[in-house]
Structure formats: structure tokens, C-alpha cells
């Protein structure tokens, strides 16, 4: 067993003699993409071919980052943010559709999910630079710029317009899941028999391991280091975990996580982690982020809308609910 990803889940590689027909190697490579740790594992014909295919996945993820990153000044999303309150910005159809999906999650979750939450990026910082709680007035001022209803989409012109000057949007909540899914889709189109794209805990898999066994993913218990609450076995599926125990600040003995409630401007409470399992990492990403804000009771109600997805909840009291 080897820990290869963060945010509460780990891939278990179990090797044995024998291999999938026509496949000779199972190759894994790690790298930094989208500001996070990625690992790509492929079951392929030979090492040379596998490395070539991994390079293609890396190129695809870099392409996506150069479209949607709000941190890189040349991207289309950065251009949208610069023109907030000024004018609509025409974007590629791919960016438009991803924004449309984000608004779908916002509508379905009653605003618990909101890509305009990045307007608070100067208020809450989880890079080690915060020395005190943010001023309540600063939170109030920034929260006035948060609201998915002020994101205007024009499908015909393929434009995005942010109504309020100072608004920002960002895809930290679903971008890595989207990249994992796109990496999987690319490899399937190239005929790669099996693999796993792990975007820092947003994981998209297909096929089987070289030994013919399904992929095995363990869900960690943050209250019991090294212990797992469940091991998931699957072939073509996705797993995503959202949690408040790895990226946070602490003041006066109280922990404040990086998952912010868009309605209050303060970190979400009640749940320590949520792991969502289903066909798409992008979709599971949207669900897990929404549930962390909604809390256990409302999160469970929310999940009933999406029967293709299941969740494992861990509350701040250590209670584990698997459904």
C-alpha cells in the first residue's frame, strides 16, 4: 500500500502475476499541475507508449489550466474577471459550458456552491500568511460581490459577464475534477485500456489494473490517522473528497477551513469531510463542495437528487455515515 493522494483517499496497488491482454506495463508518474499534485497511472502496451500517453494527458491538463485559471493573467477567466462590471467577454465554448455547469450546481444547491466565492480570496488566505481573523466589515464588503445570479451567460455570443465591478469567478471547486475527466476521456479515445488520473484527490479511473483486479481506493478517517473507513473497488468510476482538515487556519483554538459558505463569507462547519463516488469527477466535485457547505442533513437531501452518486460523510464529532 502506498499513499499517493491527499484529501482523505489513497489508491491501493495490488500486484500479482499475469496481465491484461495486450498490456505489458502499469506505469505511474507524478507531477505538479494546476498548482496541485497530480498522478497519472496507465496500463499500456509498453513503457515508451505509456510515457507518450502520459505526456498527452499532461498537455491536455495544461491546456485546460491555460483556459480557466484565475491566477494566470492571460487566461479567458482572468479576462472575464478584469472586465467585471464593464463588458461581456467572449470565451471558448468549453469555458462557457463549464461555467454553465457551475451555475447548475449553484442553482441545485440553493447557492451553497458558487464560483464567485473567489471574491473573498484577499479576506481568507490559507497559504500560511494569515495572522488574525479577518475583519467582519471586510467579510461583509467582499460577500457583497458574491452571487452566481450576477454571472450573465449569453449562449449565442458565448460570452460571460459579471455584473458587479470587483466580482471574480474561479474553478478551484470543479476544475481539477474536470481535468481528471478530460484526461480519462482522452486516453480512452486513444485506446488505452485502463488508467487513473488523480488530480490531488479528484480521481477519475477506467478499466482494470494490470493484474486484472479493479482499482482499489481507501477513504481515510481524519480522526484516526492511518485508518480507513472504507475501501472502494471499481473499474470506470470517479472518487472525490472534500475536507476541512488539511487546508485551514486556526485562531483562539478554533479551526477555519478553506471551504467558504458563499452566503455568510465564513468557513463551512459541521462536516469534516465528504467523499463522493460516481461516474464523473467534475460532477462529484460539485456535489462534495456543495455538501460541505450544506451540512449533513441538507447534504443528504441534496444527494437524493443524484441517484448515480453516493457519499460518505464524516462529521466534526467523528460520526461516519455511508450512503
In the block, cell 480507513 appears at 228
Strand order in the sheet with 89-90: 89-90, 159-162, 151-154
Q: Are 243 and 273 in contact (CB under 8 A)?
A: yes
Q: Which residues are annotated as a binding site?
A: 173, 289
Is 108 found in the same domain as 84?
yes
pLDDT at 32: 95
For the ranges 61-65, 154-158, 253-257, the lowest mean pLDDT is seen at: 253-257
Please check whether residue 270 lies inside any domain of the structure: yes
CATH number at residue 290: 3.10.520.10
Mean of pLDDT values over 107-129: 85
Please check whether residue 169 lies inside any domain of the structure: no
Alpha carbons 80 and 70: distance in angstroms, whole number: 9
Is 27 found in the same domain as 103?
no
320-322 and 25-33 strand pairing = unpaired
Is 301 found in the same domain as 237?
yes
Please check whether residue 2 lies inside any domain of the structure: no
- What are the start-end ranges of the E strands in the chain? 9-12, 25-33, 36-44, 89-90, 151-154, 159-162, 194-199, 202-206, 215-220, 228-234, 237-243, 248-251, 254-257, 271-278, 310-315, 320-322
Q: Give per-residue pLDDT as tens, 25-81.
A: 999 999 999 988 999 999 999 999 999 999 999 999 999 999 999 989 999 999 999
The percent helix, strand, coil of the chain (3-state, each to 5) is: 30, 30, 40
pLDDT at 220: 85
CATH number at residue 139: 1.10.3980.10
- Give the Cβ contact number of residue 153 at 10 Å: 16
Alpha carbons 219 and 125: distance in angstroms, whole number: 27
Residue ranges making up the domain that contains 129: 73-162
Alpha carbons 238 and 284: distance in angstroms, whole number: 8
pLDDT at 1: 31
Per-chain mean pLDDT for the chain: 89
Q: Please say which residue of 135, 162, 189 terminates a domain.
A: 162
Count of structural domains within the chain: 2
Q: Give per-residue pLDDT as tens, 166-203.
A: 999 999 889 999 999 999 999 999 999 999 999 988 99
Q: Which residues are annotated as a binding site for Mg(2+)?
A: 173, 289
237-243 and 89-90 strand pairing = unpaired
Please check whether residue 167 lies inside any domain of the structure: no
Please check whether residue 236 lies inside any domain of the structure: yes
Helices 296-303 and 281-294 meet at what angle, rounded to 10?
A: 150
Is 90 found in the same domain as 31?
no
Is 229 found in the same domain as 84?
no
Please check whether residue 145 lies inside any domain of the structure: yes
Q: Are 215 and 20 in contact (CB under 8 A)?
A: no
pTM above 0.75, yes or no: yes
Is 58 found in the same domain as 136?
no
pLDDT at 23: 59
Is 309 found in the same domain as 205?
yes
* Of 180, 178, 190, residue with least CA distance to 52: 190
Is 53 found in the same domain as 185?
yes
Please check whether residue 1 lies inside any domain of the structure: no
Task: Give percent above pLDDT 90 in the chain.
Answer: 68
* Of 320, 302, 300, residue with least CA distance to 113: 302
Is 109 found in the same domain as 57?
no
Is 94 found in the same domain as 193?
no
Is 212 found in the same domain as 272?
yes
Give yes or no for residue 298 having a pLDDT over 70: yes
Is 59 found in the same domain as 81?
no
Please check whether residue 232 lies inside any domain of the structure: yes
The residue with greater pLDDT, 16 or 220, is: 220
DSSP β-bridge partners for residue 36: 33
Amino acid at each position: 500500500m502506498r499513499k499517493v493522494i491527499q484529501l482523505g483517499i489513497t489508491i491501493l496497488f495490488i500486484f500479482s502475476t499475469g496481465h491484461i491482454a495486450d498490456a505489458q506495463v502499469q506505469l505511474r508518474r507524478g507531477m505538479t499541475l494546476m498548482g496541485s499534485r497530480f498522478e497519472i497511472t496507465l496500463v499500456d502496451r509498453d513503457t515508451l507508449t505509456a510515457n507518450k500517453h502520459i505526456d498527452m494527458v499532461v498537455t491536455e491538463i495544461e491546456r485546460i489550466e491555460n483556459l480557466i485559471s484565475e491566477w494566470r493573467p492571460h487566461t479567458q477567466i482572468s479576462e472575464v474577471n478584469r472586465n467585471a462590471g464593464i463588458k461581456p467577454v467572449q470565451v471558448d465554448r468549453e469555458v462557457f459550458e463549464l461555467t454553465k455547469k457551475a451555475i447548475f450546481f449553484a442553482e441545485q444547491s440553493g447557492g451553497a456552491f458558487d464560483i464567485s466565492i473567489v471574491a473573498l480570496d484577499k479576506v481568507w488566505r490559507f497559504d500560511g500568511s494569515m495572522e488574525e481573523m479577518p475583519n467582519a466589515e471586510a467579510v461583509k464588503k467582499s460577500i457583497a460581490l458574491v452571487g452566481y445570479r450576477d454571472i450573465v451567460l449569453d449562449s449565442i455570443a458565448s460570452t460571460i459577464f459579471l455584473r458587479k465591478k470587483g466580482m471574480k469567478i474561479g474553478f478551484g471547486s470543479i476544475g481539477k475534477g474536470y481535468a481528471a475527466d478530460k484526461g480519462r476521456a482522452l486516453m480512452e479515445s486513444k485506446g488505452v485500456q485502463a488508467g487513473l488520473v488523480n488530480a490531488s484527490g479528484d480521481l477519475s479511473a477506467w478499466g482494470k489494473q494490470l493484474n486484472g483486479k479493479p482499482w482499489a481506493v481507501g477513504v481515510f478517517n481524519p480522526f484516526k490517522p492511518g485508518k480507513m473507513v472504507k475501501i472502494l473497488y471499481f473499474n470506470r468510476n470517479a472518487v472525490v473528497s472534500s475536507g476541512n482538515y488539511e487546508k485551514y487556519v486556526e485562531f483562539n483554538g478554533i479551526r477555519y477551513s478553506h471551504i467558504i459558505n458563499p452566503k455568510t463569507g465564513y468557513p463551512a462547519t459541521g462536516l469534516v469531510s465528504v467523499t463522493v463516488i460516481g461516474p464523473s469527477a467534475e460532477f462529484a466535485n460539485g456535489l462534495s463542495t456543495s455538501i460541505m457547505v450544506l451540512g449533513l442533513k441538507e447534504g443528504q437531501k441534496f444527494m437524493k437528487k443524484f441517484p448515480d452518486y453516493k457519499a460518505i460523510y464524516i462529521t466534526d464529532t467523528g460520526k461516519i455515515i455511508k450512503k
